[in-house]
Amino acid sequence: MKLSGIHLVAINLVLIAALLLLISTALAEDVYEWTDENGNIHFSDSPNDIPPKYQDQFKTRKFREDKSQKKSKSSTDNANPEKPASAGQGQEQKLNRYEIPFEGYEGTAKRIIISVTFNDSVKASMLLDTGATGMLISPSLAEKLGVFDKSQGKLMIITGGIGGEAPGIRTIIDRAEVGGAKTQFIPTTVTAPISNSFEGLIGMDFMSNYNINIDYEKKVVVLNEIFPDPDSPGGHDENWWRNTFKEFSAYHTQCKERLEKIDQEIHKLQSIAPIDFTLNKDVMLVRAFAEYQSMHADKLLDQLERYAAQNSVPMPWRREE
């Protein structure tokens, strides 16, 4: 009876692993798998992580997105920024005003589709949604931006919305620009696109520093800059910093605890003999994936910590009270 109970736990872990591997398949990740001399299975997103003694033994799981997918058409950017006056000399700073042309329809649906430049090089058509708090991008855009590179933090998650739950990847985009208006360090979710007319959704994470006016007659979005708050390091207020640290710290803690729990279950299984080899291998696959998730949760939190340090964010904002 005790043996079957432990096996039941292991089977549940296998189901979790199957779901997470399905997520990785859907979101275009190349994963390298190898087994060490103790029978432990390991995953990495780079062949450079494979020890030399196993370089001729690894397997590659090819999860790249179909390159034949239709690419979104980019809009033309126009900006009319007013440069701020130099500080000092008794002059008040002039706030910037940007006019961004938009496509007003997607078929018969009334939309606001604008051109966004990511990381100073990649342009994409994005849906402007003032009701959304964060940014979503498609797997094809994520690949152009190098999200699937080894150094990039990318945590596999289940994301929820009006349409229900869907697999996604939580990551960070370095920079985004809309018609001259710019922001940095944007927590982003990679998930399946909802339309071929745009490659993602841009929300209030970007727009919160502007008053927004939409002129449907001229088909332009007008962004009027809000006077910068000296208590908003990096362009983000205390609430943003606290919430982002809370989210990323929760990922870090949950992934670490999950890995520890799996190690405890594996220890129980290894204390019982005989153990079905196939089941044991599946459990080790679960552990390898949990280790992979924990590594990327660490990367995301580390990226946030470094960005906070660069912007002199107060330490109390970086920890839960």
Residues 296-320: pLDDT tens digits? 999 999 999 999 999 999 999 998 6
Summarize pLDDT for 91-130 with one digit per residue, the tens. 456 888 999 999 887 777 788 999 999 999 999 999 998 7
Q: Name, in order, each residue with C-beta under 8 angstroms of 79's C-beta and a sequence gap of 6 or more.
A: 98, 99, 100, 179, 180, 181
For the residues 276-303, what does the mean pLDDT come to?
Answer: 84
Cβ 199 vs Cβ 113: under 8 Å: no
Predicted structure pTM score: 0.71
**Residue 219 vs residues 44, 73, 77, 116: alpha-carbon distances, Å:** 47, 17, 13, 16
Domain ranges of the chain: 2-64+238-318, 97-228
CA 40 distance to own-chain centroid = 29
pLDDT band at 15 (very low <50, low <70, confident <90, very high): very low
Q: Which CATH superfamily is domain 97-228 in?
A: Acid Proteases (2.40.70.10)
Burial of 51 per CB tally in 10 Å (0-12, 13-18, 19+):
exposed
pLDDT at 85 over 70: no
Residue with tokens 């997103």: 45
Mean pLDDT of the chain: 78
SS (HEC) of 141-202: HHHHCCCCCCCCCCEEEEEEECCEEEEEEEEEEEEEEECCEEEEEEEEEECCCCCCCCCEEE
Q: Give the closest residue to 201 by CA, choosing from 184, 223, 178.
A: 178
**Residue 194 vs residues 81, 126, 133, 201, 203: alpha-carbon distances, Å:** 32, 11, 17, 10, 15
For the residues 223-234, what does the mean pLDDT come to?
Answer: 87
pLDDT for res 8? 43
Max avg pLDDT among 61-65, 89-93, 154-158, 248-252: 248-252
